[in-house]
């Protein structure tokens, strides 16, 4: 081996050793910036700090520090600081990030069965929705991603999603004709808008305000707290409560990092997560009504259209999933009283 080749070989060996040591250190003390002996886990999400889901994650962080006696802590990075939902899901998958809060909609790309939550008008009401999430179907779906490096920790309530638009309200499916509607990067969400007659347009949430302002899209769909905290109501003054989907938020934990935790640390995390779910559900109800009131005060007109024409329009989506894993989940969900 000549001298130049030997130099490159030596450099490559040194870099390889440093990367290996760095990864080992990362997995052992991911994001450790706390006091000596404490372990700090990074959690990313794309919401504003005023959002009730962010408040629930702060509660979880505080609760975790309490139950662990300060040995386990969470650092929260809101507003998409560490990337989009899809990007941060991939970071969690690779063990680069401990946790991410995301809608289940982008999870379709990683766990196809999660697409069931995107089927419009699937749940009879809020009670039915939570029976599904807390029952066998919901818990099975939480564990589906373990083989892909993604451990579902818990669900957060994200209410129901409805249309908000710039120029006119969506009172019937015909009002969506040729309208460009921002959706999450979800095939199910795009299919739903297409079935209703609109033009689905996937755009990262952090870029949506500008897209609305510049007329790149005619509207979007989301829950009331998200419409308020994002300030999208400054551009989109029509909010039509058709409540087409109930797509929960989910907190994912890196399976790679989870396996470096002790049984005690895992138990602390589960306890803090479960407590935060109870806190978040109560907070969500309160904040949703407050958001609707403030939206009205800000000049947003709120409509309650007849949902049946929308249900009729999306019926073919259910037909396409007959005799598939998602179709089987639909039948199980319908049977839950």
In a domain, 15, yes or no: no
Residue 38: per-residue pLDDT = 87
Residue 264: per-residue pLDDT = 97
Residue 279, pLDDT above cutoff 90: yes
Band of pLDDT at residue 106, cut at 50, 70 and 90: confident
- Cα gap 118→105, rounded to integer Å: 7
In a domain, 6, yes or no: no
Residue 13, pLDDT above cutoff 50: no
Residue 181: per-residue pLDDT = 98
Residue, of 23 and 168, whose pLDDT is higher: 168
Residue, of 28 and 187, whose pLDDT is higher: 187
The pLDDT tens digits of the residues spanning 171-209 come to 999 999 989 999 988 899 999 999 999 999 999 998 999
Residue 16, pLDDT above cutoff 50: no
Domain at 266, CATH number? 3.40.190.170
- Cα gap 43→187, rounded to integer Å: 26
Residue 167, pLDDT above cutoff 60: yes
Residue 35: per-residue pLDDT = 58
Q: Would you list the DSSP string of 34-61?
A: SSTT-EEEEEE--S-TTSHHHHHHHHHH
Q: Are residues 137 and 188 in the same domain?
A: no
Q: Are residues 232 and 102 in the same domain?
A: no
Residue 49, pLDDT above cutoff 70: yes
- Cα gap 59→256, rounded to integer Å: 25
Q: Can you give the residue range of the structural domain that contains 165?
A: 161-247+293-334
The residue whose two tokens read 């919401």 is: 47
Number of domains present in the structure of the chain: 2
In a domain, 14, yes or no: no
- Strands 238-245, 180-183: pairing kind: unpaired
Residue 303, pLDDT above cutoff 50: yes
Q: Are residues 241 and 122 in the same domain?
A: no
């Amino acid at each position: 081996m000549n001298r130049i080749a030997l130099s490159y070989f030596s450099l490559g060996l040194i870099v390889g050793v440093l990367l290996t040591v760095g990864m080992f250190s990362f997995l052992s003390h991911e994001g450790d910036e706390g006091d000596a002996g404490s372990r700090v886990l990074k959690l990313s999400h794309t919401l504003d700090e005023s959002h009730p889901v962010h408040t629930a994650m702060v509660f979880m962080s505080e609760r975790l520090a309490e139950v662990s006696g300060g040995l386990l802590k969470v650092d929260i990075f809101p507003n998409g600081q560490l990337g989009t939902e899809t990007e941060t899901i991939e970071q969690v998958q690779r063990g680069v990030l401990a946790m991410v809060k995301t809608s289940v909609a982008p999870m379709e790309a990683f766990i196809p069965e999660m697409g069931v939550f995107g089927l419009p008008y699937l749940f009879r009401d809020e009670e039915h929705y939570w029976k599904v999430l807390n029952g066998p179907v919901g818990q099975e779906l939480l564990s589906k991603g373990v083989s892909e490096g993604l451990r579902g920790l818990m669900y957060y309530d994200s209410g129901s999603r409805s249309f908000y638009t710039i120029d006119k309200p969506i009172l019937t499916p015909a009002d969506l004709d040729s309208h460009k509607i921002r959706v999450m990067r979800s095939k199910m969400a795009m299919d739903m808008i297409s079935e209703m007659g609109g033009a689905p347009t996937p755009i990262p949430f952090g870029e949506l305000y500008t897209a609305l302002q510049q007329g790149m899209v005619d509207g979007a769909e989301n829950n009331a707290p998200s419409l308020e905290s994002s300030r999208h109501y400054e551009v989109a003054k029509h909010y039509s409560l058709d409540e087409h989907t109930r797509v929960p938020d989910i907190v994912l934990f890196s399976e790679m990092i989870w396996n470096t935790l002790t049984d005690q640390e895992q138990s602390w995390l589960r306890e803090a997560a479960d407590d935060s779910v109870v806190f978040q559900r109560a907070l969500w109800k309160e904040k949703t009504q407050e958001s609707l009131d403030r939206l009205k005060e800000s000049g947003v007109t709120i409509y309650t259209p007849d949902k049946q024409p929308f249900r009729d329009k999306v019926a073919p989506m259910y037909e396409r999933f007959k005799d598939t894993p998602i179709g089987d989940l639909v039948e199980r969900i319908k049977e839950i009283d």
